[in-house]
Structure 1
Amino acid sequence: MNNQIFSLQPFPSTKSLPNLKITGNISRNANQLAIYYSLGGDLKEIAISSPSNAPSRKYELWEDTCFEFFLGIKDSQRYWEFNLSPAGHWNVYRFDGYRQGMQEEIAFEKLPFSVQNQTDALVLALDVDLDKIISANQEIEIGITTVIKYRVGEVTYWALTHRGVEADFHRRDSFIVKL
């Protein structure tokens, strides 16, 4: 099993925003991928959707607070974008190359994740079997990201690394976790 801890950084901005920290860990055991996010800090300033009684696949979750990760196969241009809403909604998109051929990934009918709104943190945990999209012997590269929407309407983009002049989670050179 390969387990790595992470800490996300906001895309540089001149604006003063609430103090936040996004940390977690990611691991892969055979083809089982587990990722755990912890969002801590001044959470009352963040727009966080209330838990849904009927979580489902939804579009454009990145327009609100959303935990994400991008998974690519080493030496392949194909990659997937996983979107996880604090409300329990989710989606997975497949791309043939950099922002090319975006399609909803129908191999997943649901994503098994949990969200806990604790006193000092919002915690999200996902445990997913990747057998539907890749084989266990394929090396994967992952970019871990989060979109934070503040109650005042401002949006910040958090990632392991920001390699471009604009926040762009799709850049393969930012898929720096190797599992």
Structure 2
Amino acid sequence: MNDQTFSLQPFPSKKSLPNLKIVGNIARNGNKLAIRYMLEGDLKEIALAKPTGGIAPLSNTPSRKHELWKDTCFELFFGIKDCQRYWEFNLSPAGHWNVYHFDTYRQGMQEETAFTILPFSVQNQADGLALVLEADLNKIVSAVQEIEVAITTVIKHRDGEVTYWALTHQGAEADFHLRDSFIVEL
């Protein structure tokens, strides 16, 4: 098992940001990928679809939805080492999700049909919000293939401002698709 902790950084901005922290851990055991995000801080400043108590998402019918990145959204990008194709996972605190497949940098975007459901949990905690995903990657990659991962989050603030959080920001603008930012190896 390869278990690593992470801490995301906001893309540099001249605007003052709410006091937030996004940390977590990611692991790959065989071909099972587990990631846990923890969003801590002044959550009342964030436009956040919160789960209703415990683990149940706000939506009673979580489903695959497009353009989740326009609101607060936890994201995960990964590609096979030495291969241009990659996948983007989008996870909404409301329980909605999507997975996309790309042939190369921002090209050939298609919904990844290998996933028909993507169960994950969202929990309100005393010190923040936790989101946990466990995904079986056998549907899209082999257990022997090394993967490179970018862990990201889009935060939409109550005033409509959007900030972009990642392990590293390699471009002049926030761009989660840059392969140079896929820095976690599993």
TM-score by length of 2: 0.95
Structure 1 unaligned spans of 5+: none
Please, which of 136, 145, 157 is the counterpart of residue 150 of structure 1?
Answer: 157
Matched, 1:97 2:81: no
Q: How far 1:119 sits from its partner (Å)?
A: 2.4
Q: Look up the SS of the partner of 1:62 in the other structure.
A: helix
Please name the residue that 1:35 is paired with: 35
1:126-145 correspondence runs (5 A) = 126-145=133-152
- Residues 53-73 of structure 1: CA deviation (Å, up to 9, x unaligned): 100000000000000010100
Matched, 1:25 2:18: no
Please name the residue that 1:112 is paired with: 119
- Residues 64-84 of structure 1: CA deviation (Å, up to 9, x unaligned): 000001010000000000000
CA distance in 1: counterparts of 2:126 and 2:31, whole angstroms: 33
Please name the residue that 1:121 is paired with: 128
Q: Look up the SS of the partner of 1:115 in the other structure.
A: strand
Please name the residue that 2:78 is paired with: 71
CA distance in 2: counterparts of 1:52 and 1:92, whole angstroms: 19
What percentage of residue pairs aligned between the two structures are identical?
77
Structure 2 unaligned spans of 5+: 51-57
Please, which of 57, 68, 75 is the counterpart of residue 61 of structure 1?
Answer: 68
CA distance in 1: counterparts of 2:158 and 2:125, whole angstroms: 19
CA distance in 2: counterparts of 1:137 and 1:119, whole angstroms: 39
- Residues 151-177 of structure 1: CA deviation (Å, up to 9, x unaligned): 011000000000000000000000000
Matched pairs, number: 179
Please name the residue that 1:7 is paired with: 7
User: Which segments of structure 1 move beyond 6 Å, counting only runs of 4 or more?
Assistant: none
CA distance in 1: counterparts of 2:38 and 2:157, whole angstroms: 17
Please name the residue that 1:178 is paired with: 185
CA distance in 2: counterparts of 1:74 and 1:17, whole angstroms: 34
Q: How far 1:138 sits from its partner (Å)?
A: 0.1
CA distance in 1: counterparts of 2:169 and 2:119, whole angstroms: 28
